[in-house]
Amino acid sequence: MPRRKALKDNSNATENEAVPAKRARIAFRLEVPERRQTVGKVLVCGTGDTGQLGLGEDVLERKRLSEVQGIPDPVDVCAGGMHNLVLTKNGEIYSFGCNDEGALGRDTSEEGSEAQPGKIDLPKKAVSVSAGDSHSACLMEDGSVYAWGSFRDSHGNMGLTMDGNKRTPINLLEGTVCCSISSGADHLVILTNGGKVYTVGCAEQGQLGRISERSVSGEGRRGKRDLLRPDQLIIPRTRPFDTIWTTNYCTFLRESRTEITWAFGLNNYKQVAHPKDIERVLTPVKTDFQNIRQISGGAHHTILLGNDLKCSVIGRHNYGRLGLGQLTEDVTKLTALDKLSDKIVYVGGGESCSYAVAENGKLYSWGIGTSNQLGVGDGDDEWEPVVVSSKNTQNRRALLATGGGQHAIFLFQDEQDAKKEQKENVPASPSGGSSKKEKTADTVKESDENKKEDKPEPKAEKSGKAGKPAAKKGKKA
């Protein structure tokens, strides 16, 4: 005889039992960064045969750092392969250098105009800039990303989009709010405010992280469509990303909360620190990087700056680009750069050289120097970090440093301005001793009684200053 099914309990005994509440999912959101606020002086060095020094078409070389004129209140600089971008305090962008494929984003039909800083016509105010070999990009105050110029691969010009080169800025991701951009030599990485990552450009070295091996050349059935259209990079079972970095042919992404750093791209000299002997890493792999503040580098080397303000390097040893001395073999494991004893706050890379800005304002450079891109005046390679100094760096502090193919661009601040800025940022302590007051039960009671006794003042009697909005303090992007 078959067993009878158990009857369900239809009583109301469990009706009043508390149902466990579901945990509300907190939406991940990143803010669009504010522009850098520290105004400095733009300095350059190296070769200027395509106008990338910004000193005029007759200036083809500068062995030491020289000041670029004609840019009001510069706060950020970025070197492309043979051009530069400078961001000003009010959100304008100036460019100079090679404009063969539209990297300057402006008209340079007038003879010699590419060798002088010129303002780009933008629809909005920018908060940050990035540049590659022949392309440029900027992030706007509203989170939109504009780009111009062209990407390149081993066959030559790829175009910026399927429509070809863009000689003036275009919106790359309409309707998407972004919060960070970073350029390699021929690829662009975009981070949205929701923690998603988009990549676009050349994929031959695996730097897009989302293209299969048979499609990286752009000669497959879909052509270059998947390369030149910004598309999301999806890594299963990862948290939203909060930071992106690029070197010439590599990309690095950091997860929020876990702070796991993923890497992909060219690895022929272990640039992405992947232990396996794989020349190019086409899909993201986890790294062992921890407590990272910044990642930079060049074509065949990578520089890591930690939260402890110390540097580590990995990659090809030639020309001294690692700063570890005259090595005879490449460095295949992340190695501390002990030659830098100062605390470092910023690192930058050229194609085969490196730069570091110390907390005390000193600028260091090392690596290949045949084009005088190190700024030390002798054109020799430097196997260890050396201090960069000249008459244009006297009584000035280095803020930023970034290298191109055969030149470099820097941002320095006058010492007087730095001291003045420090004084302005020191909060005034109230009279009568300690700025903090311990709240006891008596003070809470007294405060409550005072609130009951206080009566709101008529609007007409309010001070005019009270109605003014508080001035926004500058915050670095």
Q: What is the pLDDT of residues 305-329, one digit of tens each?
A: 999 999 999 999 999 999 999 999 9
Distance set, CA 220 to CA 133, 152, 210, 239, 368 (Å): 25, 17, 15, 32, 38
Q: Which domain holds residue 84?
A: 41-422
Flag whether 24 is in a domain: no
Q: How far, in Å, CA of 377 to CA of 149, rounded?
A: 32
Q: What DSSP string runs through 23-45?
A: PPPPPP--PPPPPP----EEEEE
Domain CATH code at residue 280 = 2.130.10.30
Instruction: Please give the average per-residue pLDDT across 88-115, as a whole number.
Output: 98
For residue 172, what is the DSSP state?
A: S
Flag whether 27 is in a domain: no
Q: Locate the DSSP E strands across 269-350.
A: 280-286, 292-297, 301-306, 311-315, 331-336, 344-349
Flag whether 266 is in a domain: yes
- Asked if the model's pLDDT at residue 429 lies above 50, the reply is no
For residue 422, the model assigns a pLDDT of 76
Within 212-258, residue ranges assigned H as helices are 225-228
Amino acid at 325: G
Q: How far, in Å, CA of 413 to CA of 38, rounded?
A: 8
Flag whether 277 is in a domain: yes
Token pair, residue 129, equals: 């800039």
Q: What is the pLDDT of residues 321-371, one digit of tens each?
A: 999 999 999 999 999 999 999 999 999 999 999 999 999 999 999 999 999
- pTM of the predicted structure, to 2 decimals: 0.85
Lowest-pLDDT choice from 25-29, 34-38, 241-245, 276-280:
25-29
Flag whether 3 is in a domain: no
Instruction: Please give the average per-residue pLDDT across 223-229, as a whole number.
Output: 95
Are 142 and 86 within 8 A, CB to CB? no
Flag whether 377 is in a domain: yes
- Rg of the chain over CA atoms, in angstroms? 27
For residue 86, the model assigns a pLDDT of 98
Give me the number of domains the chain comprises: 1
Token pair, residue 261, equals: 């750093």
Flag whether 396 is in a domain: yes
Q: How far, in Å, CA of 167 to CA of 67, rounded?
A: 27
Flag whether 298 is in a domain: yes
Token pair, residue 286, equals: 């986890």
435 — pLDDT class (breaks 50, 70, 90): very low
Q: How many CA atoms lie within 13 A of 223 on its CB side?
A: 7
Q: How far, in Å, CA of 129 to CA of 71, rounded?
A: 15
